[in-house]
């Protein structure tokens, strides 16, 4: 997905939110802002939004001398999600359709996104979990996902954020584990999950975990390591979590299921759903949808 004009003001706002989270120094805020304005004035809009996200967050880390500014936020998100885990696990196991319930929860977990919303609080995460569980689901919606998981030999599950990985764990526990490899970012960027988050949330005890060698908040293939690209090419099914992975992979010719919460109008419009929708979408496949409450997803 390319960068739309409307992404630019939004990125600027996000960059301001981000740098304020990292430092109170107004001179640094201004440096980040001016640098980003200059970069954006010349940017190739054919690139996906995470390319600019990568630039912004590299610059913030560089200017603040802080390699991992979201470290404590990630820690908090992991802790919150792990606290919810036993109850969510119970939900999954006691439901008539554990894979469906786990998929709903994995999508709900995508709300833990400090790139989009730097003011996220715990109660919003809990509310989103509730919403995802009570959302109506099209009977056909999950069918393709279920079949694809059954038929695949090599599933690459691309994670998104810290905290969210606990919700991914619930879904991966419903898949044949030997088939699944979980992927984290190669280095810290926003609150995206890295290897440390996979370890602390127990995901690495469950399945193989690799990193993609990149610090982009998405999966920009040309920026990933050769080792990751080899695994990506070899996989016969990709499960891609979150907006960043959608933005960077929506045009890649692979069998990909995108699971995400559509948090911005540009992505919602690109997908063809309402903002706030819980989305399960196959690339080039038939449309599948989770509908729920105020958030109607028809993708």
* Footprint of a copy of itself (CB under 8 A): 5-6, 8-10, 12-13, 16, 29-30, 33-35, 37-38, 40-42, 45
Residue number with CB closer to a copy of itself (16 or 195): 16
- 34 vs 143 by CB, closer to a copy of itself: 34
Q: Which is nearer to a copy of itself, 6 or 251 (CB)?
A: 6
Closest CB 293 distance from a copy of itself, rounded Å: 25
- Smallest separation, CB 6 to a copy of itself (Å): 7
Q: How far apart are CA 263 and CA 61, in angstroms?
A: 25
- Other Cβ atoms within 10 Å of 97 Cβ, number: 14
List, in order, residues 6 or more apart from 6 with CB less than 8 Å away. 265, 266
For the CB of residue 69, give the shortest distance to a copy of itself in the complex, in Å: 18
Q: Which residue has the tokens 């990506």?
A: 232
Nearer to a copy of itself, 32 or 125 (CB): 32
Nearer Cβ to a copy of itself (129/264): 264
Residue 41 CB, nearest approach to a copy of itself (Å): 4
> Considering beta carbons, is residue 266 or 299 the nearer one to a copy of itself?
266
276 vs 287: CA distance, rounded Å? 18
For the CB of residue 30, give the shortest distance to a copy of itself in the complex, in Å: 7
**DSSP secondary structure of the chain:** -PPPTTHHHHHHHHHHHHHHHH---HHHHHHHHHHHHHHHHH--TTS-HHHHHHHHHHHHHHHHT-S-TTHHHHHHHHHHHHHHHHHHHHHHHHSS-HHHHHHHHHHHHTT--TTT-TT--HHHHHHHHHHHHHS-B-TTHHHHHHHHHHH-SSEEEE--BTTHHHHHHHHHTTS-GGGEEEEE-SS--TTB--HHHHHHTTGGGTSEEEE-S--SSS--GGGS-HHHHHHHHH-SEEEEEHHHHHHHHTTS-S-EEEEEE--SHHHHHHHTS-TT-EEEEETTS----B-BTTB----
Quick one: 45 or 80, whose CB is closer to a copy of itself? 45
Q: What is the Cα–Cα distance from 148 to 136, expressed in whole angstroms?
A: 22
Half-sphere CA count of 97, side-chain side, radius 13 A:
11
Nearer to a copy of itself by C-beta: 10 or 206? 10
CB of 2: closest distance to a copy of itself in angstroms? 12
Q: At its nearest, how many Å lie between a copy of itself and the CB of residue 8?
A: 6
Give least dist CB 29 to a copy of itself, A. Answer: 6
């Amino acid at each position: 997905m390319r960068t739309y004009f409307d992404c630019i003001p939004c990125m600027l706002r996000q960059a301001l939110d981000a740098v304020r989270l990292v430092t109170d120094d107004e001179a640094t805020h201004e440096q980040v802002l001016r640098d980003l304005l200059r970069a954006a004035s010349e940017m190739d809009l054919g690139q996906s939004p995470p390319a600019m996200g990568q630039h912004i967050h590299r610059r913030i880390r560089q200017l603040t001398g802080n390699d991992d500014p979201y470290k404590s936020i990630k820690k908090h998100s992991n802790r919150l999600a792990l606290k919810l885990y036993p109850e969510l696990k119970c939900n999954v196991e006691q439901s008539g359709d554990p894979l469906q319930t786990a998929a709903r929860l994995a999508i709900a977990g995508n709300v833990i996104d400090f790139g989009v919303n730097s003011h996220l609080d715990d109660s919003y995460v809990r509310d989103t979990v509730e919403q995802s569980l009570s959302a109506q689901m099209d009977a056909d919606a999950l069918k393709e996902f279920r079949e694809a998981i059954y038929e695949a030999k090599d599933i690459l599950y691309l994670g998104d954020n810290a905290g969210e990985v606990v919700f991914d764990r619930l879904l991966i526990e419903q898949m044949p584990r030997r088939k699944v490899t979980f992927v984290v970012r190669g280095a810290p960027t926003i609150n995206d999950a890295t290897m440390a988050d996979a370890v602390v949330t127990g995901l690495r005890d469950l399945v193989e975990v690799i990193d993609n060698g990149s610090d982009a908040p998405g999966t920009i293939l040309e920026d990933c390591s050769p080792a990751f690209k080899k695994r990506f090419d070899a996989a016969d099914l990709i499960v891609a979590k979150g907006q960043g992975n959608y933005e960077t992979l929506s045009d890649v010719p692979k069998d990909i299921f995108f699971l995400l919460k559509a948090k911005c109008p540009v992505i919602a419009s690109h997908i063809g759903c309402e903002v706030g929708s819980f989305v399960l979408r196959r690339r080039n496949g038939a449309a599948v949808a989770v509908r729920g409450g105020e958030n109607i997803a028809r993708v």
